[in-house]
Amino acid sequence: MTALAEFAAHARTGLPAPVMEDVTGRVLDMFGNGLAALELTGHDEPHEAVRRLADRWGGAGESSVLGHPLALPAPSAALVNGTLAHALDFDDTHLPSVLHPSASVVPAALAVAESARASGAALCQAIAVGNEITNRLGMASYLPELRNSLFFEKGWHATSICGTVGAAAASALLMDLDAGGIAAAMGIAASMGAGVIEANRTGGTVKRVHCGWAAHAGVVAAMMAAEGVTGPPTVFEGRFGFFQAFLDGRYDAAAITDGLGERWELLRTVYKPYPSNHFTHPGIDAALALRVQGLRAEDVAEIELGVAAAPLRTIGEPYEEKVRPRTPYHAKFSGPYTVASALVGGGGLGLHLDDFTEAAFRDEKRLALAARVRVVADEVCTEEFPLAFSAVLRVRTKDGRRLEHRVHSSRGGPEHPLSMDELEEKYRLNASRVLPPEAVTALARQVRGLAGRDDVTGLLQPALGATRPPSPAPD
């Protein structure tokens, strides 16, 4: 706890240039993902629901919300923006912790920075610190003998649990708390982080709120610390602490502090090219590669998708749920549906949001092809996971040919990261779904100059007029 708090406080003295530059990419990606999520309209959409709740709660307007003309209290703005950031499952991923740090940390830090009228440099420092702490707590849960995160094995959503602590550290830094105050904020946040991942398997919309709630809770934890509430000094390693409660006391302590402040896990956090669960990405890559080689959907007799044993439980089981998902969002967690869509549809950087619309989701050609995809555990992929997401696709065609393509590290992963040009193209494709071209460009310009701003107030101004259909009234 002390080491993490001192690391956070020390960030005020300045961070390496590559770290500060990296943060602008995190902000740009979060803005694009959140804006594109505004296309999802309906009374039951989680981001619409939490915005209605936030409006009902009221309070002093101090922080901006994507696509919302009225400012909200900082915790409420963090809740709505964090829900939008994770709504499309398009947010960045750190390995081997297998979590998405920016969707919780960026909304929390942005909300507090606006309310405190902080500088752009201070906001960048806070985001870097919050993401790093989130990643390191997640790394502690990776056990080589399991070849997986113990959070994931136990059904916990590491993103929301660790993200709450990271969001609290970022918020406390922006509230100008000292190392003791930052430690208190993280200690309080450890009692607030939560999230189970059964929705990945069988559906439900609550998972899309996880990052919003983590951002909200992180801001509130820092506010409590500022008012004098404290957390236990041994909140992480204690007999009844964070690691015992969530991980049964099995964790890698060295992963938290080794090279802290010198080796930045933030820089190893990768961006998603496709708006679906990251475990589906190597299968998508393989399908796209075979498509380039001439494979057509109508030629397919059957497909075997081989993946690591741990992801199979998310994207391949229960089988009947994966070959015919319940909703477009549920389809993002289906190996069969995403492979079929890569062969039938495609757009953006290879597979995009139009592949997860209601129309695409009900396309019988896709669903018929998905029913011919079988997901199995592959030994090579299991050995490579979670340091890389890999897959092998084996296809038998109707004329008897057998095709195979193996991906050892998915596009956007550690071995094949997206370039800055690709990241900006992803942002542009996302933001342009709800913003006019001049606003897309203006917002990107604001983000590129973030570190030089004296005051982050107004950073989201180009995005406040996002156009979207009105939400239908409940039945």
CA 393 to CA 389: how far, in whole Å? 14
Q: Any long-range contacts for 437-442 (C-beta under 8 Å, 24+ apart)?
A: 439/463, 439/465
- The model's pTM is 0.93
Q: Does the residue 414 lie in any domain?
A: no
236's tokens:
């992480």
> Do residues 187 and 314 both lie within one domain?
no
Range 72-84 average pLDDT: 98
Q: Let me know: does 166 contact 137? Beta carbons within 8 Å.
A: yes
Residue 370 sits in which domain range? 278-407
Res 193: pLDDT: 94
Among all chains, which residue has been given the structure tokens 């804006």? 35
Per-residue pLDDT tens digits for 364-412: 999 999 999 999 999 999 999 998 999 999 999 999 999 999 999 999 9
Q: Let me know: does 246 contact 158? Beta carbons within 8 Å.
A: no
Average pLDDT over all residues of the chain: 94
Query: What CATH code is carried by the domain that includes residue 172?
Result: 1.10.4100.10
Angle subtended at Cα 275 by Cα 271 and Cα 280, rounded to the nearest 5 degrees? 90
> Do residues 299 and 257 both lie within one domain?
no
Please say which residue of 407, 430, 447 terminates a domain.
407
> Do residues 252 and 287 both lie within one domain?
no
> Do residues 227 and 147 both lie within one domain?
yes
Beta pairing class for 148-149 and 142-143: antiparallel
> Do residues 383 and 369 both lie within one domain?
yes
Poorest-pLDDT segment among 75-84, 104-113, 323-332 = 323-332
- Assign 294 a pLDDT band (cuts: 50, 70, 90): very high
Q: Does the residue 299 lie in any domain?
A: yes
Phi, psi of 396 (to 5 degrees): -110, 125
CA distance readout (Å), 393 to 213, 337, 342: 37, 14, 12
Q: Does the residue 413 lie in any domain?
A: no
Check whether 237 has a pLDDT greater than 60: yes
Check whether 17 has a pLDDT greater than 70: yes
Nearest residue to 430 via CA among 2, 26, 21, 28: 28
Q: Does the residue 200 lie in any domain?
A: yes
Range 18-27 average pLDDT: 96
Element (H, E) at 4: helix 2-10
Range 410-433 average pLDDT: 93
Nearest residue to 118 via CA among 266, 12, 211, 20: 12
Range 206-216 average pLDDT: 96
Number of helices and strands in the chain (H, E): 23, 8
CA distance readout (Å), 309 to 59, 106, 183, 313, 375: 48, 32, 37, 7, 10
Nearest residue to 391 via CA among 372, 414, 370, 408: 408
Number of neighbours of residue 403 by Cβ within 10 angstroms: 18
Res 348: pLDDT: 79
Number of domains the chain contains:
2
Q: Let me know: does 143 contact 386? Beta carbons within 8 Å.
A: no
Check whether 475 has a pLDDT greater than 50: no
CA 375 to CA 67: how far, in whole Å? 39
> Do residues 376 and 227 both lie within one domain?
no
Number of alpha carbons in the 13 Å side-chain half-sphere of residue 176? 5
> Do residues 76 and 162 both lie within one domain?
yes
Cα 389–chain centre separation: 16
Residue type, 189: A
CA 97 to CA 138: how far, in whole Å? 5
Check whether 202 has a pLDDT greater than 90: no
> Do residues 212 and 353 both lie within one domain?
no
> Do residues 106 and 248 both lie within one domain?
yes
H helices within 11-119, ranges in order?
17-37, 46-57, 74-86, 102-116
Res 470: pLDDT: 47
Query: What CATH code is carried by the domain that includes residue 342?
Result: 3.30.1330.120
Element (H, E) at 210: helix 210-226
> Do residues 123 and 38 both lie within one domain?
yes
